[in-house]
Structure 1
């Protein structure tokens, strides 16, 4: 099953955001221009120094945020024992390194409602257009489509083809006036 981030609704609305979509299933991508000044912490998915949230490779090459005066003292505390850090400081460290957690990354967004509304609207407009064409544009059905006309055509063909040994007359009983 495809990850939720790779499905159509997310792709359709991703164009609205300021980030760009690149191949490989990235949810969030920053190229080198936006990544300037961020700490390099690893190799990344393919060796590029870019930040990207991905489901298949969850470890970006650089940190999500730049180093500032808020995180600098916590980073110094991070070098010592982690038991000395509070839960809020650990969360802040995480948020400076990553944009979102894995559960946030995989959370449903509700875009299916927008896509469903668009599909139903298009179907409604198509139905309205078809009814409009049937009422105002197309002519009434010709008399050749009526059952009485079709039955008369069959009787005419039976009379004209009487005596032939192939086709419909071979399956018609002319004495009793009914099909065999």
Structure 2
């Protein structure tokens, strides 16, 4: 059994790594002056407020002189920061709090409106078809005398005698069984 000898190659960046680096630079150009702070949802530089992904890849606001001054003050004692400063630091990183993300919005109203609109359109289409598309109902359905005559004929020809209509008719006494 012969031993294979591994020949070391020169370390050259692959085409894939070059494409990744190019995409990385394109994405960095899109985010402007924002700070990259994490991986995010899929590794791309994007900001999304979502409960399932609490840490976006970039900060919400771009770095401005006011935010940079707050970040310098943040490195010191937090007791010296006011509540407004802490809120400003939070809002520089995030757009919404968890309670704001979980708060109900008005989407259910528009969904309900569209559902009711669809139901009303269906109703009016049904009325239009009933008036202009379908032929009128036959007399055997609308006229009571004809319905009774049809029932008498079904009894006379003994329709479904085992457990149907004719099984409930008493032919000797000409009345319904009790």
Which interval holds the TM-score relative to the shorter structure? 0.5 to 0.7
Query: What's 2:73 paired with?
Result: 77
Equivalent residue runs for 1:140-155 within 5 Å: 140-145=136-141, 146-155=143-152
Query: What's 1:179 paired with?
Result: 176
Give the structure with the larger helix fraction: 2
Q: Which has the higher contact order (CA 8 A, sep 6+)?
A: 1
Number of matched residues? 147
Say which one has the larger Rg: 2
Equivalent residue runs for 1:150-169 within 5 Å: 150-160=147-157
Instruction: Give the gaps of 5 or more residues in structure 2.
Output: 1-25
Is the alpha carbon distance of 1:127 and 1:171 closer, same or farther for their aligned partners in structure 2, counting shifts above 3 Å?
closer
Any conservation in 1 of the 2:140–2:150 contact (CA below 8 Å)?
Answer: no
- TM-score normalized with structure 2 length: 0.67
Query: What's 1:15 paired with?
Result: none
- TM-score normalized with structure 1 length: 0.66
Query: What's 1:109 paired with?
Result: 105
What RMSD in Å do the two structures reach over aligned CA positions? 2.8
Per the TM alignment, residue 169 of structure 1 is displaced from its structure 2 partner at its CA by: 5.8
Is the alpha carbon distance of 1:159 and 1:87 closer, same or farther for their aligned partners in structure 2, counting shifts above 3 Å?
closer
Instruction: Give the gaps of 5 or more residues in structure 1.
Output: 1-30
Specify the SS of the correspondent of 2:31.
Answer: coil
Give the structure with the larger strand fraction: 1
